Amino acid sequence: MAQTWRSSLYPDNWTLGYTDTQGNFLQDFSYAGYWRGEKQIPLTPPGSVYNVVTQYGADASGKADSTVAIQNAINAAGAAGGGVVYLPAGTYRVHPQGTSSSALWINNNNVVLRGAGKTATFIYNDTPNMREKSVIRVAPAHSADWHTPTNAPTSIRGDVNPLATVIPVGSVSGYSANDFIVLHSDATDAFIAEHGMAGKWNTGAVKGPSFYRKITAIDPAANTLTVDIPIRYSLKARDKARVYKVGEMLSEIGIEQLSIGMKQHTGSSWGDLDYKKPGTAAYEVHGSKAIGLSNVKNSWIDQVDSFKPSSNTSDLHLLSHGIVLYQSRTITVQNTHLQKPQYRGEGGNGYLYLMQGEDNLVQHATASLGRHSFTFQYMWTSGNVIHNSTSNQPRLATDFHMYLSMANLLDNMTMNGDFIEAVYRPYGTVEHGWTTSQSVIWNTNGVAYAPGQSAIVKSKQFGRGYVIGTRGAASGVEYNVPSTERSAPQDLVEGVGTGGDLTPQSLYLDQKQKRSGGVPPVIYTPIPGKIEAEQYSAMSGVQLENTKAVGGGLNVGWIDAGDWMDYAVNVAAAGNYKVELNVASQVDTGSIQLKIGDTVLSTISVPNTGGWQEWKTVSGEVNLSAGQNKLRLHAAGPGFNLNWMQFTNQQPVNGQPTPQKPANLIKNSGFETGNLEGWTEWHSGAESACKVDADKPHTGSNKLTHWLAGAYQQLTSQSLTVPNGVYSVSVWARSGGGHKALHLFAKNYGAAEVQAVIGSNPVVNYTKYTIDNVKVTNGRIEIGVWSDANAGNWAAFDDFELLIK
């Protein structure tokens, strides 16, 4: 067994201020996230529930525009002092109204925008003309800009160094405990020269270091203010260091349990500089965002993904940016996957997670196929943590981008075709220049190098920077600099290729534990939601490894009978939950028990999937009590790997007026029997094009496929005896396109046949097709799918549903 090791800068008895003989030191990053990481994101925020469908008339079918209805619900919740704006399962069509800079705007405290799950609630922005606009904007109606004082600034007496929390000021008059203030010094000529940027930076563009802090104590005799988080960089009297108040920021905003997609632009001219040219497609999508937070604190984004709208002919989810946190602090973004922006040109486009604030936490996040996956900008951007997150194949590096974003932490990043770059950037109208100082890149996992690269981290920071531990198939670090360069001394680099043996594995979590008094932090994962296998709070007998599953990251492996993993969960409401487990195995001996205490909630068999990295999803059902608990995954049988678990509520969440979902009347709806039990089929010619197989099902282990090498007609249907009433019929489908006809149908129910057309265009991702309001008057119904196909056309179907309304 390899020997564990610690960084020379982080001994077991580390305390803030520990410095080696060369002057290297680590900052305390444990303050990142919602309420400085000291409170859990609330499952039941205060206030009433505002159902956008039943109370405000939003259309969950995606046919009619729902912008005004949803905004009315947001406004009502805000006017009442807060509440949950609930979007039941469905698709909601929105777009900016008139000259508005966003489709939806949250501008009051305590408002939570909540869907029914990111695979159930979809917000679809249906216009591509979104230049510098957001789908969801969170910002106060008044100015809260960090560089616009609302009182007469108070000078800071003398120079204040990094790590300080006690600030000497000219006078404490006008300040009180719990006030929020900005500590700021200008980018004076002397400051700019000190950083070697004379003639390249100017005060108006780069501003100077700024820290948004809360006053925790005042000493009138000493004229000092004590703030809640240490400052991250020197504030010098030479640079007119001062404190002042700004407009009140928003707080307690949540966006959760939904997905966002944007209609693609069908225009032309997508060159890197075309964003400057009116009339081009690049100009019209430039700077658009899925979610933009400006001047917000103590808030969260949780369980939010992007998705490909069915209207998009290309596999695109967004137009430009994903999530942007501007002049915001102590925000948590977690359990998200943003991907596939249409425009990845210059001028700031295609950034999936853009950090422009302080002490924010992004964790368990994935970015795929952007321009930059994760990016830091500006001199007021510090103390942010990106933890246990994954980047997949961006156009350019995850980077520190411009104007000295000091003292940030990238912790346990998984880089797949990407690398982390913390270097001088000689670009921009006002040169980006030094992009960071005092930032830490801790225990980076390299799955694969970016094309043409041989390093997973490139770190040549201004002054001092730190790369502690790399691991994985791609573990190289580029950091050597001549002593004459401004970035000298070269950054401290330790443990290249041996990060798997680094103690602690996570700097962020260990510092958080130390600040909490040695009690390990318990991070509760919300249910409903997704739990990555490696997010266990305790385990016995298992190991982690890099996964080859889509999205990269880690999986749990080497699981023997009797091994277990414990997960800290916070269940929104008591009831039955569907649980899906993403597993891989080369044998058929695996068996999973989900337990709370000694009670076995569910036992799920793991099939032979064809290999240790051949991933399939199996499912079961569990009944859970509300609140925080410890869920144990126990290996009742050996020989499987686990990638993730997904919990979906099967009945209403407390406080949300969602009717309990009726029973699905379809027999063998997902073909989990492995055959056509319950179904009938008809085909033209001698050979059936209908089969049940295990190739890429929507859920579970199997699906229905229509395919033949030659032209064919194929019908697969099920006839049922049902009570008279109104029903909905649906199926999840994807296809390669090219069909003469492809549709879901319902017939023989007492009226004419009705159809949901899947059509002749390719459907790359599984999409749900629904026939609603089918009124059965004769006690029976036949539902099914019809393919009239050219040679080689294929279609896949899964998870049929027949539900009484």
Amino acid identity, residue 250?
Answer: L
Question: At 520, is the pLDDT very low, low, confident or very high (cuts 50, 70, 90)?
Answer: low
Residues of the chain with CATH 2.60.120.260: 525-649, 680-804
Give pLDDT, residue 106: 98
Element (H, E) at 358: strand 351-358
Name the DSSP letter for residue 317.
-
Which token pair is 763?
Answer: 């459907």
Which token pair is 318?
Answer: 């967004």
* Phi, psi at 112, each rounded to 5°: -115, 125
The burial of 559, by beta-carbon neighbours within 10 Å (0-12 exposed, 13-18 middle, 19 or more buried), is given as buried
Q: Check pLDDT > 50 for residue 656.
A: no
Look at residue 514 and give its three-state secondary structure.
helix
Residues of the chain with CATH 2.40.30: 154-244
Give pLDDT, residue 521: 65
Strand 321-339, strand 372-377: pairing: unpaired
Residue with tokens 């020997």: 3
Q: Check pLDDT > 50 for residue 97.
A: yes
Average pLDDT over residues 430-443: 97
Which token pair is 71?
Answer: 């905004």
Q: How many other C-beta atoms are found inside a 10 Å radius of the C-beta of residue 758? A: 24
* Phi, psi at 793, each rounded to 5°: -65, 145
Question: At 373, is the pLDDT very low, low, confident or very high (cuts 50, 70, 90)?
Answer: very high
Look at residue 524 and give its three-state secondary structure.
coil
Residue with tokens 């979906």: 648
Element (H, E) at 32: none
Which token pair is 84?
Answer: 């949950």
Question: At 276, is the pLDDT very low, low, confident or very high (cuts 50, 70, 90)?
Answer: very high
What is 680-804's CATH number? 2.60.120.260
Average pLDDT over residues 30-43: 93
103 in Cβ contact with 134 (< 8 Å): yes
Residues 6+ apart with CB under 8 A from 149: 182, 244, 245, 246
Give the pLDDT confidence of 480-495 residue by residue, as tens digits: 987 777 777 899 999 9
Ramachandran area for residue 456 (φ above 0: left; ψ -120 to 50: alpha; else beta): alpha
Look at residue 67 and give its three-state secondary structure.
helix
156 closest CA partner among 248, 207, 249, 231: 231
Q: Among 128-137, 543-552, 747-756, 781-790, which is the least confidently predicted range?
A: 543-552
Q: For the chain, what is the radius of gyration of the CA atoms?
A: 28
| CA angle at 608 for the pair 607 and 611, rounded to the nearest 5° | 140
Distances in whole angstroms, Cα of residue 220 to Cα of each of 158, 161, 163, 240, 478? 17, 22, 22, 22, 50
* Phi, psi at 238, each rounded to 5°: -55, -35
Give the C-alpha separation, 618 to 693, whole Å.
15
| CA angle at 678 for the pair 676 and 684, rounded to the nearest 5° | 55
Give the C-alpha separation, 742 to 755, whole Å.
10
Which token pair is 402?
Answer: 């411009």
The burial of 136, by beta-carbon neighbours within 10 Å (0-12 exposed, 13-18 middle, 19 or more buried), is given as buried
Average pLDDT over residues 3-20: 94
Average pLDDT over residues 35-55: 93
The burial of 515, by beta-carbon neighbours within 10 Å (0-12 exposed, 13-18 middle, 19 or more buried), is given as middle
Give the pLDDT confidence of 626-641 residue by residue, as tens digits: 888 999 999 999 999 9
Give the pLDDT confidence of 683-706 residue by residue, as tens digits: 998 899 999 998 889 888 889 999
Question: At 551, is the pLDDT very low, low, confident or very high (cuts 50, 70, 90)?
Answer: low
Element (H, E) at 560: none
Tell me the whole-structure pTM to 2 decimals.
Answer: 0.74
- CATH class, 154-244 region: mainly beta
Q: Three-state secondary structure along 121-145?
A: EEEEECCCCCCCCEEEEECCCCCCC
708 closest CA partner among 693, 679, 688, 694: 688
Give the pLDDT confidence of 164-221 residue by residue, as tens digits: 999 999 999 999 999 999 999 999 999 999 999 999 999 999 999 999 999 999 999 9
Give the C-alpha separation, 733 to 743, whole Å.
10
Name the DSSP letter for residue 446.
E
End-to-end CA, the chain: 60
Of the two residues 247 and 759, the one the predictor is more confident about is: 247
- CATH class, 525-649 region: mainly beta
